[in-house]
Structure 1
Amino acid sequence: MGDQFPPDVIYEIFSRLPIKSLARFRCVCKSWLKYINHPYLQTIHRFKEEPTPIIFQLVPSANSNKNSKLCKISVLRVNQLGTITIEKDHVLDVPYKGWSHQTPVLGSCNGLTLVLYEKTPWHGTLLTLINPVTKQRHDLPPVKLRDTEWDCPSSLQAAGIGFDDSTNTLTTVFVLCKESFWSPAGINPPLCTMVHRLGMSSWREMPQTPALPICDEGVFAHGRLHWLSNSDGFHSANDGRKVVWFDVKMEEFGLTDAPKGGQYGQLVDLNGEVGFAYKDDGIHIELWVLKREEWVLRCRFDLDRPRHIDVVVCGCWNDDGDILLTSNGGKKRLFVYTLKTDDLKEVKLDGRCEAYIRMHRSSLFSIRGQNYK
C-alpha cells in the first residue's frame, strides 16, 4: 500500500481505523509500522474513539507472600439491551505490593496508565506504565531519594503523567515528602519533586516544588498536570481550595483557584478537559470545567440516593458528555448521568465489583521503541 498511494492518503485511511486494529497492523510490514508510529498519525487520530471504562481490581495473589496482590485490569463492555449492563473483559494482571486501601492508579495520559506496584523503604517506589489496548507494559526506574530518613511508603503525596507535544515525550511527575510524612497543623511539609521523561534511565530531582501540599493523581489537560491542594490545616475554609498545576514543557508549578464553594470536591478528566465535581449539600452534584483559566458550570443534578452513599465522578462516559459515577468503598454501585435528558440511572454490573474505575481513551502512543539514555 505504501507504493500505491501517497502518504496523505495512507494517513487518512489509518486515521479512520480503530486503535486496537492499528496496534495489530504494526506487525504487517516496516512501511506500515513507520506510518502507524509516526507522530502525525497520533495527532490526527487523537480523540477519535470514545472513552472506555477501565477497572482496576486488587485480588490476592497466588504468591506465598500474604501482602502480595494482583491488580487485575479489565475493560468494561457495555451492552445496550433495554437496560445498561456492564460486563468485565479481562486485559492483564500487574503485581501490587502497596497498601490495600490505596488505589494502584496514579494517573493516565495519551492512552497510557501509570500504576503503582510496590512501595518499600528499601526499594523505593516502583511504577509501571501500561497500555490496556495493546497490553504493553513498561517498568520505570525506582523512585528513591538519597540521604533521606523518611523515604518510606507514606512519603508519596501525588503523582501524574503528562505529554509534551513539542518533543513527543511522556513525562511522569512524582511529589514526595522529603523529610517526614507528618507535620504539625499549619506547617507545610518539605516536599520534593521528581521528574522522569520516557526514554531516560533515571529520575531527576527538580529545584521547584508545589506552593501547597497536593494529593492524589494528576489530571492532564492542555500541556499541564493539575492536582487539588490538600487544604487541611494549611489555609482557612474561607480561602477555598486551590488547583496546583505543573507545565510539563516548562517544568514550572502554578496555582489556580477552584470554583467558589467547592472546598470538598475532586478533579476529574472530562474528555481532555479539567473538571471539578463536588456535592454542595450531600445529594446534589455540581460539575465545573476549566476553560481558559476560568471555571464554567457544566451541569448540576440530584443524586436521589441515600446521603450515606459517597459518590465520586469517574469521567465522561462518551463523546456526548454523559457522566459515569461510582460509589466509593465496599461493593460498587455505578450510575450514568445523561446530559441531554438530565437523567441519572443506576447501571447494572455483571458480578461483584470492589475495584477502582477510571475512564480511558485509547492512543497510538507506543511504550516500545524508546531510546534510553
Structure 2
Amino acid sequence: MEKKRIIRQLLPVEEEAEIPVLPQEIVVEILSRLPIKSLCKFRCVSKQWLSLMSDPLLAKSHLKKTIRNDCFYSQRKRVLISSHNLYCLEYASIGRFDENLVALELDYPLKDASNGLAELIDSARDGSLYCERSEEEEEEDEFPVMVKLNMPCCVNQRNWVDILGSCNGLVCISPDEDTLYLFNPSTRESKRIPDPPSSFAPDGLSVNGFGYDFVNDDYKVVKVGCGNVFVYSLRRDSWRIVCSFPYDDNVYEPGVHLNGAVHWMASYGDGADYRCVVAAFSLEEEVISDLPAPDIVDTSFEFVAGVLNGCLCVLHSRNQMHNDFWVMTEYGMGETWTKLTLSLSYICMKPLCLAQNGEALLEVDGKLLLYNLEDDSYRYLAVDGIPEGDGFEADTYLETLVSPNGFFRP
C-alpha cells in the first residue's frame, strides 16, 4: 500500500478541464439558429437556461434570423387553421405531391370551455329537447305543456375560434365571444387582453385588427366601433381612444396588417361624393388615412382587404360567385392596382402565402387550395387531422420565441 501511495505522488497530477465560458452574444448567436422545439426543451436544463430562453434579446435575434434567412423562414412558417379547434400545418410540406398534409392539434386558451349549445344538447332526452313553458304561459292555460324541439344529433362541444391577425409569431384570437387573447402557438404562451373600460367600450358591432409597431417595439390590437378607433397596447397593457373612424358603419371583417398599418375596406359620402377606399391605420402614428381602391370597387360592403406575398389585395367577400381580385403591386400607388382573373369562382377568398413551388396558397370558401398564377391551374388540398363538414378559416404565423408576457409598462 505504501509503495502504491508513493507511485501516485510521483505521477503528474491531471488538472480538471475547465469548460469555456462563451460570451453572451455568442451563445445568443448559436441558439438563434435552432428550431423552437429544441429551444423550448432547453428551458428544462437549468434556471440559468430558463432565464436565457426567456430573454427578449434571444427572441429578437431568433426572429431577425427567421425573417432574413429564406431557409429558416421556410422551416419556421406554419399555417394556422381554425375549425372549432386550432391546428397547425407545416408550410414546407405544402405543394409536395409525394407528401400527405397532416394538421397537428394545438393547445390554446379556453380550449375546453364548452359552448352553450353543447350544454343545451346534453340535457336532451331521446334526441330531442323538452322545454317547460313559462309560469305566465302556464297561468293562461289550464294544463302546462312541454315543447319538443328537434335538435341535431351531433354538436361540436367547442366554441369557434376567430383568428383576428398574426404578426412575428403572435396570433390574436377570440376563443369565446368578446374575449381576446394574444397567443404564441409555438411556445403555448398566452395573455388575456383586458376588456376595454366600460366608459368607452364600443357597443354592438365592432371589428378588430392586430399588428406590430416597429418604432415603439409594441404589439397593438385595434378595435373599430361607434365611430371611434380604440387601441390596446401590449407594452402599456391598456386601451385608449385614439381617433375617430370617419367612414360608414359597414366594416365587418378583421383588418389585415401590412407595412406597419392595419387595413380595411371602407366608404364614405353620398351620391356623387361617394367614395370607396382602403382605410389604413398607422400603428406607429395612430392616425388613419385613405389609400385608393381599384376603380371597379363601388361599395366596401362587398369587398375585403387581404395580403399576398407582401402586396395589398382587394377581394370579393359575399353574396355571389366571382373569379377575380386586385393586387396593388406598389404599396400606396393607386395606379398599380392589377386585376387577376382566376379559372375558378369563389364567394369568399383569403390569400395566405406563396408555397414552396411558387403557387399561391388560398383559403377559398372554407377549403385550402394551391393556385398556379402562371398557367391558371389549381388543386384542392386534403388535410388529415381536421374534421370534415364544418369548414374552417386560416392564417399563417412564424415559429418564434416572442412572448406575449415579455412586455412591461414603462
TMscore range, shorter length:
0.7 to 0.9
**Amino acid paired to 2:263:** H
Summarize the Cα distance change of 1:319–1:110 in structure 2 as closer, same or farther, 3 Å threshold: farther
- Describe the SS at the equivalent of 1:92: coil
Q: Which residue of 1 aligns with 2:126?
A: none
Separation of aligned partners in 2, 1:237 and 1:325: 36
Distance between the aligned counterparts of 1:203 and 1:147, measured in 2?
Answer: 9
The one-letter code sitting in structure 1 at the alignment partner of 2:205 is: S
Query: In 2, Cα distance between the equivalents of 1:314 and 1:358?
Result: 9
| Alignment-derived partner of residue 185 in structure 1 | none
Match of 2:58 among 37, 45, 54: 37
Give 1:1-373 correspondences, 5 Å limit. Answer: 3-4=21-22, 7=25, 9-25=26-42, 28=45, 29=49, 30-31=51-52, 33-34=54-55, 37=58, 39-46=60-67, 48-50=72-74, 51-58=77-84, 72-77=85-90, 78=93, 82=97, 85-95=100-110, 104-119=162-177, 125-146=178-199, 152=203, 154-156=204-206, 158-177=207-226, 191-206=227-242, 208-213=243-248, 214-229=251-266, 231=267, 235=270, 241-263=276-298, 264-278=302-316, 282-289=321-328, 291-295=330-334, 296=336, 300-305=340-345, 309-318=346-355, 322-328=359-365, 332-350=366-384, 351-352=387-388, 353-372=390-409
Task: Flag structure 2 segments of 5+ consecutive residues without an equivalent.
Answer: 1-18, 118-157
2:394 and 2:310 map into 1 onto residues whose CA distance is: 17
Deviating runs (4+, > 6 A) in structure 1?
96-103
Partner SS state of residue 186, structure 2: coil
State the TM-score, normalizing by the size of structure 1: 0.73
Q: Percent identity?
A: 21
Higher-helix-fraction structure: 2
Matched position secondary structure for 1:46: helix
1:112-171 deviations in Å (ceiling 9; x for gaps):
11112444xxxxx331111111111110111243177xx54x331x21112122222111
SS of corresponding position for 2:381? strand
TM-fit CA distance, 1:15:
4.0
Amino acid in the other structure paired with 1:172: V
Q: Deviations over 1:161-182 (max 9, x none)?
A: 12122222111111122xxxxx
Q: Which of the pair is proportionally richer in strand?
A: 1
- Distance, in Å, in 1 between the alignment partners of 2:394 and 2:103 is 12
| Partner SS state of residue 379, structure 2 | strand
- Aligned CA distance change for structure 1 residues 220 and 365 (closer, same or farther; 3 Å): same
CA distance in 1, matches of 2:31, 2:360: 30
| d(CA) in 1 for partners of 2:168, 2:58 | 14
> Is contact 1:46-1:363 (8 Å) kept?
no
- How far did residue 81 of structure 1 move? 6.2
Q: Please give the secondary structure, in 2, of the residue aligned with 1:203.
A: strand
Structure number, greater radius of gyration: 2
Residues 166-217 of structure 1: CA distance to partner in whole angstroms, max 9, x if unpaired?
A: 222111111122xxxxxxxxxxxxx1222111133431222x1222143321
Q: Which moved more, 1:47-56 or 1:36-45?
A: 36-45
TM-score normalised to the size of structure 2? 0.67
**Matched residue SS, 1:13:** helix
CA contact (8 A) 1:22 1:36 kept: no
Aligned partner letter, 1:175: V
